[in-house]
Structure 1
């Protein structure tokens, strides 16, 4: 695509001369006609997109409490884990509101959920940033939430060492905004998505809930600070609190409806599972294993890999078991530590591809070994991991990712507004200008295809 654009650019700079005359006027007319066609086509596309957008239902169904119906706010519900949690909640007949700013989440996941649960009063999506206190207050004042599952967070250890302030703002500061709204509106239950990164690099394995928390990277530090705020608030509150510290998440919806879909620019920071499958599909030339000199069995990091389906099950059980004025803190893992090399071998077997592996120096902020003792969550919540075979869990991962580069953040809940139309039209214009030059004579079908994908969150390769 880039080489195509360059070739066209060079063509435009070559002025066609005949007999010393420069015939530019006819080309200018063609350009005008091309622009008219594009404007008309983009207008039509925006109308189609707004018509089919996830506008969901009238907000009145969500603004009142209803006996027998539990309304759960899922922050970050367009993301990898949050979307799977929303799917499970909807399957279990909960009412769900997803709030996401789509910076890491994917509108395609929301549209999948809307297609599966189109009934009135089941699901709504709100495009908002949790750092905007006024927007968050408006969301809480217009909706009757019984519980909050707070997933929204940037979550890459490597990235956190490069841009720590982003992590303190996005995780710690935004959690404070949510917590203040929860307190003002007296929400009964809060399920907080935390991480084993808060433990740092403990001296003893496996990790139990009372293992000292000494995080060694900004991601873990930001999460621990958020935990501390929640715990301090809970001391003088009737709210039921559950804090789930989970380990390395892998897998996807067994029916292939949802999956991990990192944006292309974030792949270098992403989870090893995504990198393995990218390498198997040829999206990247191979897999980079960072660090082979750790004090572990084979020199690579050891992690506890938890399937996303099991993880979501733990969240739902935590929601069901949460009691007023009580705080529950649980590790969510399999209790088994597997090395990165073991993971790579399992991925090769699951995909049937002999993935190329490059061994590189350590990544800043990583720790040698971490795996859980899940005894407490088994005892209190009757939860244990079911998908404990790495290869079997990886075989559930479908070969797809949402095309996040073609999704627009303009759409929100409620009926379409003039703002939505202008926002969509401009985003379409930017995409077309970026892919096609105005005077390239790009085919009408190509423009339609670009807009159709943008409007429908189609499943495809997001290279």
Structure 2
């Protein structure tokens, strides 16, 4: 079973444990097969798939001793508790058979200590030694009392610290995340390290939900996880699991080890332009991965699903505004993959006693009003990103100007018209959908403001929000773009009592701009996860 045992460590005991185990290992050439750490790089299985790895915000120390001292190249990892993460940033314990280092992490201290040298030349010859492995007797009897004393001391120290650790309140193989508790709703947020998913996780945590985030960080950012853990360090509030939803075994293992009450499924690649270049990737990532989630939900009795869909499933509607009854004829792989995922969910829910909410939302902008989270796409993906990101890049001087594709559409100013929904309003809709989800019922809602804004209007609002003179170059139309897309939010207004609050375009952009200015490099590179 992959779920590790957890030990609540007292800072003073940690060096004693290390000292005791170190003495025993060197003296006896033993291997100490202790549990895997709660957080470590994904482990390759024999089939080539990756097992999920977990980082919990509960104040527990998690030990790993991949120990083999007979080769003098032992590896030991200790991932500090969340108080350590709060003060020093997330400490990721990496270990590898090629790195002769040991991480010692205590609550406010991190030391990288070199291991015993391997294959290093000696200045002086070592005196000959003879071991009788049957009885562990050293040939020189004069050293036997000293040797036995060291063994006894190491054993006493180790036993003492293990005893103290077992008396600690957090010592249990049963994680708070692995059991249902009355009055506590445990939500799995897939893609919770991403732009929208992280904002949704923040809102859920503020509403006292228990949250597990699963993300492979291909589009998400570990910096967002760090922010959330700093905000909610209490035991049993938040855990992060690094895993790929395309790995069915890993997903099933996650469900087996956690008592989920509901799933918010955000994880997806989500760029229309990129989907036309890599269609198979989109079908795998969106459609196939949704199927994996549904199979795991069915196998483990999780009955509530809030699915993040898109207005791209509608394609090019002939009539505006778009209602939930507008025919769906998607025109790009992104929209098609989402439409297929919706169809699978609908078919599955008919015989599965499911509570399902499908939210089709429009163009997302903005960021957390308190400046804790924002949008931080990888540099190589910026060209496929949202128009707000392009405007901010131009305002920051990252790109020379903004390129607008199409100025001859049949609209008031010739540019495309879109419905821009603030991310704060969007996650509010998700939480209300979760509250209103009922068994044997599937509901579908458009999430938008109901008001269309042209690209020119958007650019002018961005100029005012940033105070920058953004240069704009108008190009030919992009194939597949349609003139107007905006929603009719009447159904969600009526049934979920939800109405967009952040409808001032310039205000939403101003909030997002504050975060962008103070995070020119986003949250920082997540490359440490895969180093």
Q: Is the 8 A contact 1:260 1:401 kept in 2?
A: no
Q: Which runs of 4+ in 1 moved over 3 A?
A: 42-53, 401-405
Between 153-162 and 44-53, the greater mean CA deviation after superposition? 44-53
Measured in 1, the distance between the counterparts of 2:294 and 2:345 equals 7
CA distance in 1, matches of 2:348, 2:338: 16
Q: How many matched pairs? A: 369
CA distance in 1, matches of 2:364, 2:191: 16
Residues 72 and 296 of structure 1, relative CA distance in 2, 3 Å threshold: same
1:366 CA drift (Å)? 2.2
Deviation at 1:401, TM superposition (A): 5.0
Residues 275, 183 of structure 1: alpha-carbon distance in 2 compared, 3 angstrom cutoff: same
Structure 2 residue 407 is the aligned partner of structure 1 residue 292: yes
Question: What is the CA–CA distance in structure 2 between the aligned matches of 1:281 and 1:59, rounded to whole Å?
Answer: 49
Superposed CA deviations along residues 156-186 of structure 1, whole A, max 9, x for unmatched, are: 0111111111111100011110111111111
Partner in structure 2 of residue 455 of structure 1:
none
Partner of 2:455: 340
User: Which of 456, 480, 483 is residue 368 of structure 1 equivalent to?
Assistant: 483
1:113: which partner in 2? 228
Tell me which of 188, 201, 216 is aligned to 1:101.
216
What do the CA deviations read for 1:307-363 (whole angstroms, capped 9, x no partner)? 000000000000000000000100000000001111000000111111011112222
Instruction: Please give the TM-score of this superposition, normalised by the length of structure 2.
Output: 0.67
Residue 51 to residue 266, structure 1, CA distance change in 2 (3 Å): farther
Aligned with 1:354 (options 469, 472, 480): 469
Question: RMSD of aligned C-alpha atoms?
Answer: 2.2
Q: Please state if 1:312 is matched with 2:427.
A: yes
- 1:283 positional shift: 1.4
CA shift in 2, pair 1:333/1:52, >3 Å: farther
Q: 2:371 aligns with which of 230, 239, 256?
A: 256
Correspondence for 1:65? 180
For residue 178 of structure 2, give the secondary structure of its aligned residue in structure 1: coil
Structure 1 residues 261 and 333, CA gap change in structure 2 (3 angstroms): same
Q: Is the 8 A contact 1:263 1:405 kept in 2?
A: no
Q: Out of 301, 320, 339, which is 1:186 matched to?
A: 301
Name the CA distance, whole Å, in 1 between partners of 2:228 and 2:109. 14
The yes-or-no answer on 1:321 pairing with 2:440 is no
1:407 and 2:513 matched? no
In the alignment, structure 2 segments of 5+ residues that lack a partner are: 1-98, 111-171
More helix by share: 1
SS at match of 2:287: helix
2:193 corresponds in structure 1 to 78
Task: Quote the Cα distance in structure 1 between the aligned partners of 2:520 and 2:103.
Answer: 24
Separation of aligned partners in 2, 1:65 and 1:360? 56
Residue pair 1:133, 1:177 contacting (<8 A) in 2 also: yes
Higher relative contact order, structure no. (Cα contacts within 8 Å, ≥ 6 residues apart):
1
Q: Distance in 2 between matches of 1:338 and 1:96?
A: 35
> What is the 5 A alignment of 1:170-319?
170-319=285-434
State which drifts further: 90-99 or 349-358.
349-358
For residues 489 and 258 of structure 2, the distance between their equivalents in structure 1, rounded to whole angstroms, comes to 35
1:432 alignment counterpart: none
